[in-house]
Structure 1
């Protein structure tokens, strides 16, 4: 199976995966996958992650990061689905990406590229939903300037970079398809 060893692009992917791993484990899924005794009490092993998440919430009052099934108001019930996607799809893909690109260092196969394309599209789409949703936050609590900060400073990079990463993987896959089509045409012409 052919691999793409496009080193600088693979290094961007690897950097992204290394950035995503602690965010997924210790911010997004902190209270979803870890028991409270591991992060809430002072001196708990993951208390620093808990304090960082609390700082983020106090600084930005981001309702998406504060979401829980108990506090869901009905309109944002999609967040539960996003949490499941993050745990069952994004986290395993990030771990696999780190293994494939940082441990094996063998580049990407066609299967990897398809997986990473779906991953990038999923991250871009769910982030876009979050950007869109923040536009409907209560004006009394979230003035326009705060909404813009949430949308353009905090969420936009998590939409733009995965979109560019999806384009990278789509280009790689298209390259494979063109090579396969050319080989098929060459066989037919013989």
Structure 2
């Protein structure tokens, strides 16, 4: 049996691709402007220095040799900006994805398990406050459930005198049971959920 790890690099595909392409487009524009400026400066220098056909032919050959390194530098610049965009968006999209998953769990009445982001992720401070807010909600829910349990004890003593309370008591007991199960449930964002390093196990 062998272990394998699968990483999800495009966590939020539309967001990441949008800004990667935007940075690459800026790279193309800047490279084109730099190339145009270099060409104009070069042409002015040629007009000043070149005097005869032999010199012109020599300069033209040098121009062709110089063109490819300039194109290569421009391509490398565009690629570097694209990689920079990937790294930056990856460090933002991951935490946002995790918090979105946590919000979905809260909407279902469940509480996620606290988990730290990776060291180089962005939004560390906001994420910490987000987890603190979830913890405060959970503690408040636990207090409310405790109060409901106290109320159930009182209702059980009153059912013998007021049988009509039996139906309300059953509904309340089911609700408290569901809330206790949700509070006790260990909902972890680990395998298959945490987006920056989705891990899986397979057999090889």
TM-score of the alignment, normalized to the shorter chain, above 0.5: no
Larger Rg: 2
Tell me the TM-score normalized by structure 1: 0.32
- The higher relative CO (CA closer than 8 Å, separation ≥ 6) is in 2
